[in-house]
Amino acid sequence: MKHFSVKQEVEWSAKLPPSWAQFGDPLPESDPSTQAVQAILDRLKAAIPDNPGYPFKLYVIKNKEMNAMALPGGTVVVLTGLLEQADSPEEVAGF
* Span 18-59, pLDDT tens digits: 878 888 999 999 999 999 999 999 998 888 888 788 889 999
Domain count, the chain: 1
Residue 71 domain-assigned (yes or no): yes
Residue 1 domain-assigned (yes or no): no
Average the pLDDT over 57-64 and give the result.
94
Question: Phi, psi at residue 24, to the nearest 5°?
Answer: 140, -175
Residue 53 domain-assigned (yes or no): yes
Residue 12 domain-assigned (yes or no): yes
Distance between first and last Cα of the chain: 26
Average the pLDDT over 61-88 and give the result.
93
What is the predicted pLDDT for the residue at 1? 56
Mean of all residue pLDDT scores within the chain = 89
Expressed as residue numbers, the domain containing 26 is: 6-94
Q: 71 or 1: whose pLDDT is higher? A: 71
Average the pLDDT over 60-84 and give the result.
93
Handedness of CA 45, 47, 11, 77 (dihedral sign): negative
